[in-house]
Amino acid sequence: MKQVLSLILMTFLVTPAFAGTFDYGYTSTGFKYVKHKHSEASYQRTWCSMHQGIEEFENKDKTRVDCLTSTHAVEFDFANKWAESIGQALHYQRMTGKRAKVVLILEKPKKQMVYFTRVQELGKIHNFDVEFVTPAILNLQNGKCPYSDCRCNKVYKNKKKY
């Protein structure tokens, strides 16, 4: 119990130091969101292919495992969604009988490693596997990944603000 409490305390004490870790955008109605240069699906597709997994495996309850390998039910998420990724991975473990794994996407590894460390510590306590990927996995060419449906390859028209 002491270990869990100190981990929680450490998490909240470290967080303010990393306030500039993400790039934010705002919707037309003023809601703030985290912007990502590449889609989660691009990272998922690349990693899953490298591990001979099945993408978007559908469970009996209609939830979808990002990548199901011969040994793991894998959930991918960006660093800002680190906590959500744990719950999903554990649910997929329950549904598939495969070991849970979180693959955290670190777009700025030096600044976002604190989120990976959080998940890694919880993985040790709750017995699930954790790793991270960076944009390097995408084999970028001029800042673009090989997937035409990734947001890095989409052209957005400037919207008029009223």
Residuewise pLDDT in 10s, the chain (162 residues): 555 444 444 444 444 444 567 887 888 888 877 777 888 998 999 999 999 999 999 999 999 999 999 999 999 999 999 999 999 999 999 999 999 999 999 999 999 999 999 999 999 999 999 999 998 888 777 777 777 777 777 765 555 444
Considering only CA atoms, which of 4, 26, 34, 13 is closest in space to residue 114?
A: 13
pTM of the model: 0.77
Element (H, E) at 4: helix 2-14
CB 78 within 8 A of CB 105: yes
Q: Cα-flanking dihedrals φ and ψ of residue 146, to 5°?
A: -75, 0
**Considering Cα of 133, then 136, then 140, then 143, what sign does the dihedral take?**
positive
Task: Classify strands 99-105 and 129-133 as parallel, antiparallel or unpaired.
Answer: parallel
